[in-house]
Structure 1
Amino acid sequence: MKQFLLIAFCAASLTAMAPAPSEAAQIKRACLASDRSAATRARCSCIQRVADQALTRGDQKTVAKWFTDPHQAQELKMSQTSRDDALWDRYKNFGQMAQAICN
């Protein structure tokens, strides 16, 4: 009985930690929705896997918007706040990793 409860608790914990479907694969969906010819399902999936390693869920939500409005990325890049600078650094790192792994 104790083992069953432990397994049930672990399963519930994992479910609670998993992102909601609306939050999962934001980069992949934005990539696939873009009109870029290189946006294949395989490449967008790879980019999402890299994003999962390099960006927080909040970062991914922000970056996904840049696929449809790249000007937002430029505005963030030009921002003078340390928070925006940190996001830009994470984004550059993500881009370098995705290019190295997914090409």
Structure 2
Amino acid sequence: MRLITIFIMVALVASCGGGKRRAPQPTGQVTRFSSGPISQACMASDRKARNPQLCGCIQTVANMSLSPSDQRRATKFFADPHQAQVVRQSDSSINEAFWRRYVEFADRAESGCQGY
């Protein structure tokens, strides 16, 4: 499907182990596109559906949802999705807090970047 499937895949991995997730909040479609580490990782990925508009949209959502440090950390998931599973399953409170922010970001990107 679309490049957002990486986020869906991460969300599916997250649902395997239980835990509570907040429902995605409606954000509407993002119409401003940005460049940055998430956009660059998105474009460098091997996903067929990647394109500058989609990757720019995902970056815009990342700018609204994640700190620069979180964005750099999240770029690793594009190259190695297994790293998302490692972070999700970690007992570290730092990883747990990051994972909550990341899932919220992924939900927003999924709902706000459909159609690109």
TM-score by length of structure 1 reads 0.75
Runs of 4+ with deviation above 4 angstroms: none
Pick aligned residue for 1:76 from 80, 87, 90: 87
C-alpha distance in 2 between matches for 1:79 and 1:40: 32
Aligned-partner SS, 1:67: helix
Unaligned runs of 5+ in 1: 1-23
TM-fit CA distance, 1:39: 1.0
Aligned residue for 2:71?
Answer: 60
- Does residue 45 of the first structure (1) align with residue 52 of the second (2)? no
Q: How many residues align?
A: 80
> What TM-score, normalized to structure 2?
0.67
Alignment partner, residue 37 of structure 2: 26
Identify the structure with the greater helix proportion: 1
Q: CA deviation at 1:45?
A: 0.1
Structure 2 counterpart of 1:96: 107
Amino acid at match of 1:80: D
